[in-house]
Chains A and B, each alone.
Chain A
Amino acid sequence: MIEIEKVHKSFKDLEVIKGVDLTVQKGEVVSIVGGSGSGKSTLLMCINGLENIQSGSIRVDGTEVHAKGTDINKLRQKIGIVFQQWNAFPHLNVLENVMLAPRKVLGKSRAEAEELAVKQLTHVGLADKLKVFPGKLSGGQQQRMAIARALAMSPDYMLFDEATSALDPQLVGEVLDTMRLLAEDGMTMILVTHEIPFARDVSDRVAFFREGLVHEIGPPDQVIDNPQKPETAAFLKSVV
């Protein structure tokens, strides 16, 4: 379970997250939608401790992310994140990209890590690209590799930050399909996305983010199809 309570986060004088409350249950898929600059990416990075917070608390399975004594590297092993820019490691081939963290962080043997990596890469449809370097892959393939790389750590949670926003339109579908499979497998996910139909499809709940706050949250048939707040309606109108 991810419990976000009254979180405030500023960059210098600029307050970006202004008291967010959000709880994500095990097995739940929560989509976050909202305008650019509303703090969605920042919130995701706070959840796995890539950004610090000024006040409030974020707990993952009861562990306080930003507490002094927390082993953040350990905690991150169970929170996978996929970014908008796919961030492949260019000096490693596809297989090595996915094997790196299982080997160096989890201490798995080469054989174990390879088996794990091949399994995940097969899952995302890259079984025939194992020895290829990322520079030779399309954006969609690189993003699927990034998903496999995160999944190879066997995380309990997956965070997606606009995973398809930097892709050519014809490549969006393959990545969304991969994410959909993951949701169907019961992965607990928080996904920031502008793909509203997709969010409606896979989400248990949708949160509309506005100016650093959860402005409206509820099941997709409420937030997307029948928004209670005028700002939510206005935003949805602007993205379709």
Chain B
Amino acid sequence: MFDYTFQWRTALRALPDMLEGAVVTFETAALSMIFGVLIALALLAMRETPNLATRAVAGTWVSIARNTPALFQIYIVYFGLGAIGLHVSSWAALLAGITFNNAGYLAENFRGGLKAIPDTQVRAARSLGMSSFQAYRLVVVPQLLRIVFYPITNQMVWAVLMTSLGVIVGLNNDLTGVTQDYNVRTFRTFELFALAAVIYYLIAKLIVAIARLLAWRLFRY
């Protein structure tokens, strides 16, 4: 009744291509994080302005990003933009979708982090003659960086895992895409996806390890 025999050799033959896919996966995630952090900072600033419309846009972004499945977010970028005549590649749709998601989560993390820094810190900095910008750059941001460091690390891991959703909009050169291609041709589903899972796992662990090392170098207090 169970006549599936494992054939690891097929999976191992796919390994070089899968590793190449893993590079695409990692690059996509890293890029989505860079854009995500920048947009999150913008959203953070937007949510602090007195302008109601600006605040509403930022608030809506954060709310949707955090409360709908990432899969839908990517789907909607790909097919939604396509429907209004803006055709984007699978990869661009995936990148935009994950970036949207990252920015929403990070904006919320940044906001929480900012709240954790008492305004007496800014007041102390200003009382020493620092401009408002200096007070933020020299006193608030370095402290904020430490607070949001682990949330950023988590989000990076999450971004790597989210790239696997690219397959639903037809991406075929990331780790999941390559794996799926081999799967369709060889039907060694279990071996291939088990191997892919191991690679995802190792990427995630590597990110956390690098982050630990960085934190240890960066945060001395």
Contacts and interface: CB of A to CB of B under 8 A. Distances in A.
Interface of A: 48, 50, 73-74, 76-77, 79-81, 83, 85, 87, 89-93, 100-101, 104-106, 133-135, 146, 149-150, 153
Interface of B: 120-121, 123-131, 134, 138-139, 142-143, 146, 219-221
A74 B120 contact: no
A73 B142 contact: no
Given A83-B120, A91-B146, A76 B221 contact: no
A73 B129 contact: yes
B120 A105 contact: no
Given A90-B143, A91-B143, A76 B134 contact: no
Nearest to B117: A90
Contacts of A90: 143, 221
A79 B130 CA distance: 13
A101 B121 contact: no
A87 B220 contact: no
A24 to B, nearest CB: 18
B130 A81 contact: no
Nearest to A84: B120
B130 A105 contact: yes
A73 B130 contact: yes
A76 B129 CA distance: 5
Most chain B CB neighbours (cut-off 10 Å) among A92, A93, A135: A92
B69 to A, nearest CB: 38
A191 to B, nearest CB: 15
A83 B138 contact: no
* 9 nearest A-B pairs in the assembled complex, by CB-CB distance: A87-B124, A101-B128, A133-B221, A77-B129, A105-B129, A76-B129, A81-B127, A91-B142, A73-B129
B127 A76 contact: yes
A127 B125 CA distance: 23
A104 B130 contact: yes
Nearest to A159: B127
A50 B127 contact: yes
Nearest to B218: A91
B27 to A, nearest CB: 32
A102 to B, nearest CB: 9
Given A85-B120, A89-B139, 10 more contacts: A73-B131, A76-B127, A79-B127, A83-B120, A93-B220, A100-B138, A106-B129, A133-B221, A134-B221, A153-B128
Contacts of A79: 127
A81 B126 CA distance: 10
Contacts of B134: 104-105
Contacts of B139: 89
Contacts of B130: 73, 101, 104-105
A105 B128 contact: yes
Given A83-B120, A87-B121, A153 B143 contact: no
